[in-house]
Structure formats: C-alpha cells, structure tokens
Structure 1
Amino acid sequence: MEILLFFVGMGIGTLSGFFGIGGGTVLVPVLLLMGFGFKHAVGISIMQMVFSSVYGSYLNIKKGSLQLGEGLFVGFGGFLGGYLSGYITPYVPDRVLQTVFIGFVLFALIRMMTSKAHSDEEESRSLPKALLFVIGVGIGVIAISIGVGGAIILIPLLSGLLHYPVKKAVSAGLFFVVFSSVAGLIGRLMHGQIDLLSGAIVGAGSLAGVYLGVWLKEHVCNKRHKTFIVVMYSIILAIMVYKMFFAK
C-alpha cells in the first residue's frame, strides 16, 4: 500500500504542477476508490497539498510565471478560511461534503468551457484588496472542507472574470493552495483528523511529480492548456458522480 501511495502522489504532483491545483480534486476520488473514508481522504489530500503547492510555487517563482502582488491578499484570506474549516468539517455529513465537491467541480468546468483563453499580453482586471481577502476566506472555508486547495474555484474566476492568462491563473491558483492547505493542515492536526504516515508518503511522491508538471506547463500554449484543464475537470466530475451514485 505504501508503494502505491507514493506513485499515486507522484501522479498527483504532476497534475498539481501542470494544472495549478493542490491535487485534492483528483486525489480525494482516487483515495475513495482505494477504500479510504471521505474524511480520511480529505486529511491525506490536505497534507499532500502542502508538499505540492509550496514546491510548485517555488518553481513558478523561479520561472517567472508567478507574480505575488494581489495573490497575497487572496492567500491570506484563504489561510483564515482554511483554518476555520477545521471547525466545520466534523459536523457535516460525508454525503453533504461530496455533493458540495461535485457542485464546485461542475462550476469550474462550466466556467472554463465558457471563458476564452486569454493571451499573456492582455491586461488583467483588478479588484479591491479587501474584496480579494474576502474571496479568499470564502474559497478557503469551502475548499478545505471538501479536501481541495481552492485553485479549482479560483482559476476559473481569475481566467473567466479577471482575464488572467491561463498559465498565470494556474500559477496563482497553486500559490493560493499554499495558504489554504497549511491552514487546513494546522486545523486538522489540532482535531486529530489526519493520517500522517499516508499523507507524508503521498506528499513525498508528489515532489517529483510537481517538477515534471511545472516543466510541462511551460511547454504548452494557453489554448491547449485550457483544453487539458477542461478534460481533467470532466474526468473528476465523472469519477465523483460514479462514486456517489453508482458504486456499491
């Protein structure tokens, strides 16, 4: 099981670096199929997200595709929201969390399909810093409660509403995951809700995968990158719907 978890982590890390997600959107369904309970899967996912988001953001800064700026305000909001989620999750039934998970994947899919792929030369819109902080809090509470870093919600907002180029939105999304996942980890450690060994194994495997994923991201065009993201969201949605409604 440990070896399998390591290679699962490597695959998730590649997706994290390429798509800018923490990995929970893929890892949680995979862990469910492996027999883990939903809340155990969420805990392992949060720990893995810390590994992948910190290392991936470091690589993106080195490559110049991540500009901190407004991302710090969204990130600090995400930290607060991720921490608060630790007080919410224990009182919410698994089925409710899974339904919310499916809803946000569906939102992200529709948002990405209906927005155009902006070029790197286009000027991005801006929002007041206080509003960015509030958005971060909301995304952090919801995302960490369902075991994802929040990038799956943030990337469609940045790309579809604020005209961020896809690659920059992906880098900003992964940076947001640093804040939300660290806060979520702290909250769950305080409540004893994380399988530390399994989380560390998956997280260690993700480090190698993140490097590969970031490299791949820098070598595809924005339009093709967006297409890959839409395909990924569609697969995730299918897995979760199958797990929730059809799996015995």
Structure 2
Amino acid sequence: MLETPIGWGLLFLVGTFTGTLAGLLGIGGGLMMVPVLTFFGIPLVQATATSLIGVLLSSISGTVQNFQTKSLNWQVSLLLALFGIPTAQLGAWLGDRLPDAGLSLAFAALLLITIYMMQLRQKLKRQENKTQEETNQTPTTDVAQVAVTGRTAKPIAWIGLLAGVLSGLFGVGGGVVMVPLQMLFLGEGIKAAVRTSLGAIVAIAISGIAQHAWNGNVLWVPGLCLGLGGILGAQVGTRLLPKLPDRMINLLFRAFLIALAIYMAARAL
C-alpha cells in the first residue's frame, strides 16, 4: 500500500501531523512515524531508518524558521550535535543487530519513558514560571540564554551522547530527552530548549541515516513522503509555539503515546 499514491498521501498526512508536534514540542516526530510504518508491515529496523528522513526534513524546516527569527541558540545546538553524531552511528549499528521483538519492546519502553520525561518537563516549566513570578522577572522562555562555557559544556556533551544513541536506535530525533535534560541541567527555558534541540536533531538525524543507508535499511520514497509532510507541519508548529499553551496538546499526546506503547508491546509478543 505504501507504494501507491494513496499510501504516499497517507504518509504525507502523518508527516504533517508529526512535524507540527515536532515544532511544538521539540521531539522530531519519529515516536509516531515508526509505529505507523510498522503498522503497514515494514520491519522495525527499516521503519526506524526510514522515519529518520522525516525527522531530518521536519527538523530542518523548523530550524530554518527559528534561525530566521533569531531565536536559535546555534552554539548549544552545534555542541549537542557534535556529541550526538558518533553515538547515532552506534545506535543505528545496534538496531541492525537486535531482534525485531526485542527492539519493539524497547521502543514501547521508550514511549512510556517519554511520558515521564514530558511530565518532568512540565514540572520544570512550572518551577521556572514560579521563580520568575517570585522575583518579578519578565518571562524569558522565548530567548535562548545558555552559553557554552566550561560549566555547561559537560552536561551538553552527555545530553548529546544520549540523544544520538536514541536517534540511531529508534529512529527518533532525541528531542524528547534533550528538552527536559537541558532544562534540568542547564537551566534553559522550555521554548529555548525546544528550539535548541530541534537544531541539534538536524545533524544527529543525518548521522543515523548515513549508517542505516549503509546497512540498506532506508526506504527512500516513504521517508520522503513523511519528510515533505513534516516540513509543512514543522512550519506550523514553530509558528504556533510562541502563541499556544501546550497543556491540552501534552495531555492528548500522552494518551497517544500510551496507545502506541501498547501496540508496540503487542507487536513484540
């Protein structure tokens, strides 16, 4: 079905939806792209490899928008990517060697961990807002404030290393981990962290795609359909980010993640 115009159109719509969430939440979109591809009978390792094309294109689209509005902290994004590139290669190498059932269970666990990470992010956001209110500060979450220094370089490096492994292994961008960890260890505002992680995902996804392509796992046409939809969606998401509260979006997204986790676990069993 994915080789027909109907299948291409469906993948474009999936890419648009996930790209919008990528721009809003800084997650890259692969968390939903991968289960959808496996639903159509694609082996999981090929689904993870193919989703990275969509992750890459939607991340490029959102990052260009953030760069044009001068809201991208490119120094932190670059350092995250520098450490994420080699571990994305490692993750792709591991994914090609793990059994499909084991990888499915691991992906289901990742989806559940994602819910916790999103809750952590919301907690950090509330603390951030409370601190600003107590000190009578003007909210600054729209501006990237973290600088690359001797104090921040080490946590940035570790965050990038972890995000790279997740990207190559599961076909996700890694932003779902990067955003709350940046807030927790760098003190970065939530919207700044979303934009920074989205920029790093560009280089990390390229690295993962290269290794998966070497292994022959990338389905280029379905991936491009996802990616073209992701470009449109990311433009929508990054424009909505400064304007919309994400409480309802996060609640719906968590419910969707639980459903996907159940599906991936059942697929493995």
| Structure 1 and Structure 2 fold alike (TM over 0.5) | yes
Q: Which residue of structure 2 aligns with residue 116 of structure 1?
A: 124
What are the within-5 Å matches in structure 2 for residues 199-218 of structure 1? 199-218=223-242
The CA distance in 2 between the partners of 1:106 and 1:76, in whole Å, is 28
Deviations 1:185-242 (A, max 9, x none): 111111111011111122122211111111111212xxx3255335413421321223
Are 1:153 and 2:177 counterparts? yes
Q: Partner of 1:99: helix, strand, or coil?
A: helix
- Map of 1:237 onto structure 2: 258
User: SS where residue 124 of structure 2 aligns?
Assistant: coil
SS of 1:36's partner is: coil
Cα distance between partner residues in 2 of 1:233 and 1:183: 28
CA contact (8 A) 1:65 1:167 kept: no
Match of 2:82 in 1: 76
Q: Using the alignment, how far apart are the partners of 1:111 and 1:160 within structure 2?
A: 11
Is 1:197 the counterpart of 2:203? The answer is no
> Are the counterparts in 2 of residues 15 and 21 from structure 1 also a CA contact under 8 Å?
yes
* Secondary structure class of the residue paired with 1:46: helix
Q: Which runs of 5+ in 2 are unaligned?
A: 1-6, 130-138
Residue aligning to 2:99: 93
2:133 is aligned to none
SS at structure 1 position matched to 2:216: coil
Decide which of 11, 17, 34 is 2:23's aligned counterpart.
Answer: 17
CA contact (8 A) 1:24 1:49 kept: yes
Contact 1:79 1:180 survives alignment (8 Å): yes
Q: Which runs of 5+ in 1 are unaligned?
A: none
TM-superposition CA deviations, 1:150-174 (whole Å, max 9, x none): 1111112123443322211111121
What is the RMSD computed on CA atoms of the aligned residues? Answer: 2.4
Alignment CA distance shift 1:178-1:87 (3 Å): same
Contact 2:152 2:186 in 1 (8 A): no
Rg comparison, structure with higher value: 2
- Secondary structure of the 2:75 match is coil
1:95-148 C-alpha deviation (Å, 9 max, x unpaired): 222333233333332233242313443776974424422431232113320111
- CA-CA distance at 1:25 after TM superposition: 0.8
What TM-score do the two structures reach when normalised by structure 1?
0.88
- 1:182 maps to which residue? 206
CA distance in 1, matches of 2:253, 2:95: 26
